[in-house]
Chain A
Amino acid sequence: MVEAMPHCRLYLTLPARPSAALESSLAQALAEADVACVLLCNDMAPIDNSWAFRLRELTLAREIAFLIENDAPRAETIGADGIHITADVALYRSARDKLGQLAIIGVGCIESRHDAMTMAELGADYVAFGHAEANETACELRVELIAWWSEIFVAPCVAWDVETAEEAERLAGLGADFIALSTAIWQAEDVAQRIATIGAALRRARTAA
């Protein structure tokens, strides 16, 4: 019996604030789930270099890509694989100049079709749709954008700020290449278990294509 090759993988986002509990949950999650990429967010608290270095080591040991949000110089210092930025042409260009062609530069396009097309045209390695205030309207829009994008465009797309296995499976089925889980997930109990459950849902999903 050959194991099915999943079409969609997990993308984890981490809050900037260092936390031993989070670090151990992350290690457990990486051991149990099939994770493609880890992003250290530049939210609430400033990024702490020693925290970033520890995460770099943790991910490197498993050959998992490590990105930093909106901070190309720090990505370079830490030896990250690249960055995730907000959709902005000047920001993208300066980051690409600094980090070079081999670095991964992904762009959060939230809800804008125009941004996504512009950034993909420029050479963004992926575009991401979705945002944290996940009310019903926002979720439906994300579904619509993912389906639209993966139907027409070549650049990989990431469904952003996903919280549940049901959403993840649905978005994967519509063609999302990666499912980025919300940073809020780290507040849950049994985080690693939850992440593994969502990972298992992705294995079930098959693209419509």
Chain B
Amino acid sequence: MTAQGTRLWLAALVVAIAWSPANSAESPAYAAYAQGQYLTALKLAEAEAEKGSKEAYTLLGEIYEGGLGVAQDLSKAADSYAKGADLGDANAQFSLGLLVAEGRGLRKDLKLAANLFEKAADGGQALAQYNLALIYLDGKGRPADEKKAAEWMQKAAEHGLPLAAYDLGGFYQFGRGVAADKAKAAEWTGRAAEAGLPEAQAEYGVMLFKGEGVPVDEKLAAKMFRMGAEQGNAVAQNRLARLYANGVAVKADPVQAAKWHLLARAAGVSDFNLDLLLAKLTPEQRAAADKAAEEWQNDRLTE
């Protein structure tokens, strides 16, 4: 009865994701950092940097940016990243790009950010590839170019970045920068879903349910909805509620239907049919559903 869940494009241009340093191997500074010994890491990194290690500059940048064991100092962070970037470290180029894109510690400059992302992207840095794709999509910092956006998104997705796989699925679904291709849309959305992205789980569930670009598989669809629902995706919660309401792929269970509907509704997904189901519950069933929904929310808060 309701609108098919529409894919929400990521609103934020730049998505900062906890980035674990890729070059931890063999460096005593990174080893100390990985163990949370930040002051030791700082000393070691300073020494390694002096010897010309580009990764050490990147690490210094991370320590100052995060305020790890030292006071946060964004201009020092930017300075260290810049040195690492000049020496060709892709992580430093990416991190400096983020600071410049957000205007943290430096004047905001999307063109410069795009240049830095591109360098890092060329060096195989997946998050930089992803952000560069978003820049081409958005047309800020670079002229909008959906084809280039799709190319970089593809690279980031192939590196296994779930967000990139999800967005690439969207490109194929709507034919943005690539020819529309339902099978590829399902494949990439499915990869993001398998990697645990709740939005992707909700959408992949819909694709499996309707057989869009993938053979119909109600059981797997139900599993996807459940995983997305448990992670708090309201569309997945709504679809799971419908399955319980109608006894599709799961045993009909009005209390479970009501529980997931209440949660989805609280998160803004309305469904009049499920409201009607809710109204038909006995007071005992309704109380059980309220309790189950509340417990689910409490569990999430304490996680």
Contact residues of A with B, CB < 8 Å? Answer: 2-3, 5, 7, 9, 34-37, 60-65, 81, 102, 104, 125-126, 154-157, 177-178, 209
Closest beta carbon of chain A to B49's beta carbon, Å: 48
Bound Cα distance from A192 to B298, whole angstroms = 32
Bound Cα distance from A178 to B276, whole angstroms = 10
A154 and B280 form a contact (CB under 8 A): yes
Q: Could you say which of B64-72, B92-100, B266-274 contacts chain A? A: B266-274
A104 and B273 form a contact (CB under 8 A): yes
B280 and A156 form a contact (CB under 8 A): yes
Pick the residue among A5, A60, A126, A178 that contacts B293 (CB under 8 A).
Answer: A5
A61 and B270 form a contact (CB under 8 A): no
Q: Can you report 13 A-B residue pairs in the complex whose CB atoms are below 8 A from each other?
A: A2-B298, A5-B262, A34-B270, A35-B270, A63-B3, A63-B269, A65-B2, A65-B270, A81-B273, A104-B272, A104-B273, A125-B276, A154-B280
Bound Cα distance from A63 to B272, whole angstroms = 9
Pick the residue among A3, A61, A62 that contacts B266 (CB under 8 A).
Answer: A3
B266 and A5 form a contact (CB under 8 A): yes
B271 and A63 form a contact (CB under 8 A): yes
Cβ contacts under 8 Å, B294 to chain A: 2, 5
B272 and A177 form a contact (CB under 8 A): no
Let me know if B279 is at the binding interface, CB within 8 A: yes
Per CB-CB distance, the 4 closest pairs between chain A and chain B, nearest first, are: A65-B272, A156-B279, A177-B279, A63-B2
Bound Cα distance from A104 to B275, whole angstroms = 12
B1 and A64 form a contact (CB under 8 A): no
Residues 272-289 of chain B: 1 if any A CB is under 8 Å from the residue's CB, otherwise 0?
A: 110110111001001000
Pick the residue among A2, A63, A154, A177 that contacts B270 (CB under 8 A).
Answer: A63
A155 and B272 form a contact (CB under 8 A): no
Closest beta carbon of chain B to A32's beta carbon, Å: 12
Bound Cα distance from A62 to B262, whole angstroms = 16
Cβ contacts under 8 Å, A154 to chain B: 280
Known: A64-B270, A209-B283. 16 other contacts (CB 8 A): A2-B298, A5-B265, A36-B272, A37-B275, A61-B3, A62-B270, A63-B269, A65-B2, A65-B270, A81-B1, A104-B1, A104-B272, A104-B276, A126-B276, A156-B275, A156-B276
